[in-house]
Amino acid sequence: MTTHIDVLTSREVPLGGPRAMRVRRTLPQRHRSLIGAWCFVDHYGPDEVEQTGGMVVAPHPHTGLQTASWLFEGEIEHRDSAGNLAVVRPGELNLMTSGHGISHSEVSTPGTSVLHGAQLWIALPEASRDTDPGFEHYVPQPVRGPGWEARVFLGSLLGASSPVRTHTPLLGVELMLATGKSLEVEVDETFEHGVLLDVGVIEVEGTELKPSDLAYLPPGGRTVTITALEECRLLVLGGPPFGEAIVMWWNFIGRTHDEIVGFREEWQSQVVDGTQADGRFGVVDIDLKPIPAPTLPHVRLKLRH
Ligand code: MN
């Protein structure tokens, strides 16, 4: 069976300001907002920190989502308003739950000379989007076979499972293949999947991907065949179609335009007006000035399905 594959190509976006390091974004796009509950995919590096300045993202807020940080190289210090301080390292999942509101900073560590990784967001469903903030860290044991190695950080694949509980069924896996290796991976046919290529050249179901491309595979397939034309590393993301319409703007996920306007006002009154010293988003213990929200567009924000 030939599965129809959509290849989403990336666009370059400055992270946290016009002079900041640049990332390659493949989600959301005009024609696709979600793959399962995955709603944001940024791929970056390998960057020489000496040239890019590394990652310096001052405190900023989130609502209604989880952030999953996955590094290939380098280290990032995470601090959040729930009191979590963590160093994000390659091969380790760091999952921050914003729930009803959190703020955090992300700064590459002084010892980092090369930074390379992915920043992913997960939309929270209605039943849990108002939950308390939280933070989890998990180091998956690699599983291996001839010509392949995988780290399953969320969900189950290739005989390995992550114990990290999610609010909707999810899959998140790092997979490395040797040159010439073709791997037929059994997948949950109720899931839609995304394959983000980090390095190398691959074919997904016969469709060639370049680094930073994100292949979209609709539900219904029982296997996904990935062939490495060159030694490669990639991420496989997946989940059942999210099924709820969301509004995404800046760092917020909500359900209506007016809800986002409210989140923005609460953040601005905390960091610009100073009228809410420690509101919905809390305060991050770091010597960096929080990032004020941009101006809202003049049109009402669209629901994304
Ligand atoms: Mn963030």
pLDDT, residue 18, reads: 56
List Cβ neighbours of 52 (8 Å cut-off, separation of 6 or more): 21, 22, 115
Q: How far is the CA of 57 from the centre of ligand 1 (A)?
A: 8
The DSSP letter of residue 148 is E
Instruction: Compute, in angstroms, the gap from residue 67 CA to the centroid of ligand 1.
Output: 7
**Rg, C-alpha atoms of the chain:** 19
Q: What is the mean pLDDT of the chain?
A: 95
CA of 156 to the centre of ligand 1 (A): 26
Percent above pLDDT 70 for the chain: 98
CA of 144 to the centre of ligand 1 (A): 32
How far, in Å, is the centroid of ligand 1 from the Cα of 124? Answer: 15
The predicted model gives 260-272 an average pLDDT of 96
Torsion of the alpha carbons at 126, 128, 130 and 136, rounded to the nearest 10: -140
**Model confidence over 6-48: pLDDT tens digits?**
999 999 998 765 567 899 999 999 899 999 999 999 999 999 9
Give the contacts of 285 (CB within 8 A, at least 6 positions apart). 79
The confidence score (pLDDT) of residue 15 equals 79
Q: How far is the CA of 16 from the centre of ligand 1 (A)?
A: 9
Residue 3 vs residue 33, higher pLDDT: 33
* The predicted structure's pLDDT at residue 3: 62
As a whole-number percent, the residues of the chain with pLDDT over 90 amount to 90
- CATH superfamily of the domain spanning 6-239: Jelly Rolls (2.60.120.10)
- How many angstroms separate the alpha carbon of residue 160 from the centre of ligand 1? 29
CA of residue 126 to ligand 1 center, whole Å: 20
**pLDDT digits 0-9 by tens, 81-107:** 999 999 999 999 999 999 999 999 999
- The per-residue pLDDT for range 103-119, each reduced to its tens digit, is 999 999 999 999 999 99
Range in 59-63, 216-220, 274-278 the model is least confident about: 274-278
Instruction: Give the pLDDT mean for 120-138.
Output: 97
Question: Could you tell me the residue ranges of all domains in the chain?
Answer: 6-239
Task: Please tell me the distance between residue 213's alpha carbon and the centre of ligand 1 in angstroms.
Answer: 22
The pTM score is: 0.96
Per the DSSP assignment, residues forming a β-bridge with 71 are 90, 117
Alpha carbon of 62 to ligand 1 centroid (Å) = 7
CA-to-CA dists, residue 263 to 7, 96, 97, 281, angstroms: 33, 18, 16, 9
Give distance in angstroms: CA of 61 to centre of ligand 1.
7
| Contact partners, residue 149, CB within 8 Å, separation at least 6 | 142, 143, 175, 176
Residue 185 CA to ligand 1 center (angstroms) comes to 32
Inform me whether the pLDDT recorded for 140 exceeds 80: yes
Q: How confident is the model at residue 4 (pLDDT cuts 50, 70, 90)?
A: confident
Where residue 204 falls among pLDDT bands split at 50, 70, 90? Answer: very high
Query: How sure is the predictor about 2, in pLDDT bands with cuts at 50, 70 and 90?
Result: low
